[in-house]
Structure 1
Amino acid sequence: MISSKLSVVLGLLALPGAWATSYSMVQEYAGTTFFDGWDFYGNYDNLTNGDAIFVDANQAQSLKLAYVNDAGNAIIKVDNASTVAYNDKRNTIRINTKDRYEVGSVWITDMLHVPFGCSVWPAWWSQAPHWPVGGEIDTFEGVNQVTMNQMTLHTEPGCTQVNPVQSSTLVNSTDCSFQANSNQGCVVTTPSPQSYGEAFAQAGGGMFVTEYASSGISIWFFSRSSIPSSLQSNASSVDTSALGTPVANWPTGGCNIGNFFQAQSLIFDITLCGDFAGNAATFAQTCSGTCYPDYVVGNGSTYDNAYFEVQYVRVYGANGQNTTISAAPLSISRPSTKAVAGVAAAAAVLGLAAW
């Protein structure tokens, strides 16, 4: 008779991503068909109270806010051509993948430029359909003129960061519960100033790798000059054990991945001001004036740097398995309280003024 402990081990081994390090490509978003696999939100920002309208696919195309440039890279941007009147909002983009990806997945994005500037709040992240059930993974996020990326998990109560194996010592918070600390999440800051803003672009961009495995969630960041050879060119497979220590790591010991996370839809969005970037104390830490009237209103040239330039997004499945849930609908719910507490903790780590 098999012991109960051995049964548990055998059960875990049967799960995709249980201690797996080898992953094979199951999806690629790149080139002229990049946007074919994404849904556009098509509504004003009723999620984080941003002074922004997330346009639909037709508007995105006609306004040239989401397109593939001559280099074959996807551009996702804020409207920098229009003059916005007071009490109006500025057009921008929020897209999510039609497919969702189960535990046992790795997603990689190679970007040349990320949005930055006063009032700008960009993110590259993922979530399950019925937030907070199924969790959220923020791989890339920042506001205004901050100089370092922050990475965060948001979950139901009971998930914490315990004994992480990671290179970053900038741990903002360890309780991932949406009920703790005004939904701050468990936040880790990327130590490299090349992980965000102007320095990211000047370094030629870089690569973010997110591993969503039964053994834990890990995120790596590689500036252009430090991208491993195994991730260069058209890598059809990835061995995460060869990538070195991740920048951030949330092991299953403190957060049972199977209990707190479900299949994730991948998301790019750029909003303006809102609960994070537009918080008066937060805004004053890196920008002058007032967020909405001094930046969103008026000439759009202030948003010349408010864009993603993405070479590709690739998704991989563990042990050759296809971890894709095809064309799964995503109900959007991301509470606005997320941002306010998160930046307070980030400010403390970055040595900015407390509020």
Structure 2
Amino acid sequence: MRSAARSLLPVVLAAISLLTPVAATNYDLVKEYAGSTFFDGWTFYDHFDNLTNGDAVFVSASVAKSAKLAFVDPATNHAIIKVDNTSTVPFNEKRNTVRITTNDRYGLGSVWVADMLHIPYGCSVWPAWWSQSPDWPVGGEIDTLEGVNLVTHNQMGLHTESGCQVVNPVQLASSIQTSTDCSNLTNHNQGCLVTDGNTASYGQGFAAAGGGVWVTELASSGISIWFFPRANIPSALTSNTKAIDTSTLGTPTGNWPSTGCSMDKFFSPHNLIFDITLCGDFAGNPAIFNQTCTGVCYNDYVLGNGSNYATAYFEVASVRVYSSNGTNNIIKGGSSSGSGSPGAANSNGTQTGGNGAVAMQRSMMAMLLALALGAIARLFA
């Protein structure tokens, strides 16, 4: 009878392994934004900044093209996303800039890699490279790159519903854990933040280093962000752009493990976003503005001839998105109806997975495990 019980052991172990989420490290390329078609597949916000109270107007695709605020530089084949630095803005008006959002959304089991040569900086400037669920705060937010004014270090973070905490992160010793509660209701939506200790991660230091690469991983084991200055980009990111193995990238710059924040509960498929606003709730807050700049944010910088914004632009070589295990985690267009684990999408964008599929698989495995354990119990009775 013991030999019969031993024969059931592989079944039990198999069931247990399927019930336990395993973090994916191997990902295959599913989407690339680069070169002359970089701006294909993005939506321009086309509205004044009613999101963060910035002194900016996010222009339409046609205005961005005609005013050369969003274009592909023919000399480098890199995408340029910038603040208007040629128009004169009178009092009580706002300055034109750009906010673009991917039409597609990318779910759990995704990695996005952004290669940039320049990021916006300067007094009053507030840029971000980030991702968000359409139903925010349901579905969460990941800030890969964010800074204001003349700060010298990038700030990363998450913003979620209540209940997501940072517990035992594994990240670089030089990274500074600023806060650990990710809830949008805590401390005026501060989020759970990590400051990169590397001065090449933002502003003039980033530009002087020739830019660099950010890798953002949204996995069942948690969220990780890596930053590599140009001189330190690992071969895993340059030798094979068709696939990526995050286990070869070393210790992340920032890490938000699932131990304190269930990924499939707090994160649903995300749109990727580039934006540059001016002043607003963050950059224009006098207590923050005066840390690195003098004067009054709107009066002394937004107004006038725009010469303050010569450095307020993104130069992006590429954005590549990868999905785990050869699956397709893209949700084509549309908007999310709620939070939860994302499903895969087939070639026409129809969602084929999600919480229901995951729950069914786990239910079946739980039933198999219960049957196996019951059989073992009967054999030993």
TM-score strictly above 0.5: yes
Unaligned runs of 5+ in 1: 332-355
Shift of residue 281 of structure 1? 1.0
Query: Judging changes above 3 Å, is the alpha-carbon distance between structure 1 residues 329 and 59 closer, same or farther for their aligned structure 2 residues?
Result: farther
Please say if 1:217 is aligned against 2:223.
yes
- Could you tell me whether the CA contact under 8 Å between 2:175 and 2:254 is conserved in 1? no
Deviation by residue 1:294-324 (Cα, 9 ceiling, x = unmatched): 0000011110000000000000000111110
Please say if 1:10 is aligned against 2:13.
no
Query: Judging changes above 3 Å, is the alpha-carbon distance between structure 1 residues 144 and 330 closer, same or farther for their aligned structure 2 residues?
Result: farther
Shift of residue 181 of structure 1? 1.1
What TM-score, normalized to structure 1? 0.89
Q: Which of the numbers 84, 88, 95 marks the counterpart of 2:89?
A: 84
1:255 corresponds in structure 2 to 261
Please say if 1:138 is aligned against 2:146.
no
Deviation by residue 1:117-172 (Cα, 9 ceiling, x = unmatched): 00000000000110000000000000000000000000001100000010044100
Query: Judging changes above 3 Å, is the alpha-carbon distance between structure 1 residues 294 and 200 closer, same or farther for their aligned structure 2 residues?
Result: same
Task: Measure, in 1, the Cα distance between the counterparts of 2:124 and 2:64.
Answer: 21
2:104 corresponds in structure 1 to 99
Query: Judging changes above 3 Å, is the alpha-carbon distance between structure 1 residues 4 and 234 closer, same or farther for their aligned structure 2 residues?
Result: closer
Over alpha carbons, which structure has the higher Rg?
2
Please say if 1:124 is aligned against 2:129.
yes
Q: Which of the numbers 10, 26, 29 marks the counterpart of 1:25?
A: 29
Deviation by residue 1:248-294 (Cα, 9 ceiling, x = unmatched): 00110010001100001000000000000000111000001000000
Query: Judging changes above 3 Å, is the alpha-carbon distance between structure 1 residues 86 and 243 closer, same or farther for their aligned structure 2 residues?
Result: same
Q: Which of the numbers 70, 79, 82 marks the counterpart of 1:66?
A: 70
SS in 1 for 2:100: strand
Residues 193-204 of structure 1 mapped to structure 2, 5 A cutoff:
193-204=199-210
Task: Measure, in 1, the Cα distance between the counterparts of 2:102 and 2:240.
Answer: 21
Please say if 1:187 is aligned against 2:193.
yes
Shift of residue 232 of structure 1? 1.2
Please say if 1:323 is aligned against 2:329.
yes
Please say if 1:294 is aligned against 2:303.
no
* Amino acid of the structure 1 residue aligned with 2:18: L
Residues 159-174 of structure 1 mapped to structure 2, 5 A cutoff:
159-167=164-172, 168-174=174-180
- Could you tell me whether the CA contact under 8 Å between 1:265 and 1:330 is conserved in 2? no
- Could you tell me whether the CA contact under 8 Å between 1:134 and 1:262 is conserved in 2? yes
Query: Judging changes above 3 Å, is the alpha-carbon distance between structure 1 residues 7 and 184 closer, same or farther for their aligned structure 2 residues?
Result: farther
Please say if 1:283 is aligned against 2:289.
yes
Task: Measure, in 2, the Cα distance between the counterparts of 1:246 and 1:280.
Answer: 33
Task: Measure, in 2, the Cα distance between the counterparts of 1:166 and 1:61.
Answer: 40
- Could you tell me whether the CA contact under 8 Å between 2:167 and 2:257 is conserved in 1? yes
Shift of residue 329 of structure 1? 3.7
In the TM superposition, structure 1's runs of 4+ consecutive aligned residues that sit over 2 Å from their partners are: 1-9, 328-331
Shift of residue 12 of structure 1? 4.6
Query: Judging changes above 3 Å, is the alpha-carbon distance between structure 1 residues 98 and 47 closer, same or farther for their aligned structure 2 residues?
Result: same
1:49 corresponds in structure 2 to 53
Shift of residue 9 of structure 1? 4.1
Query: Judging changes above 3 Å, is the alpha-carbon distance between structure 1 residues 160 and 232 closer, same or farther for their aligned structure 2 residues?
Result: same
Deviation by residue 1:233-256 (Cα, 9 ceiling, x = unmatched): 551100000000000001100100
What TM-score, normalized to structure 2? 0.83
- Could you tell me whether the CA contact under 8 Å between 1:98 and 1:329 is conserved in 2? no
Task: Measure, in 2, the Cα distance between the counterparts of 1:5 and 1:253.
Answer: 23
Task: Measure, in 2, the Cα distance between the counterparts of 1:8 and 1:54.
Answer: 50
Q: Percent identity?
A: 63
Shift of residue 327 of structure 1? 1.8
Task: Measure, in 2, the Cα distance between the counterparts of 1:191 and 1:54.
Answer: 31
1:350 corresponds in structure 2 to none
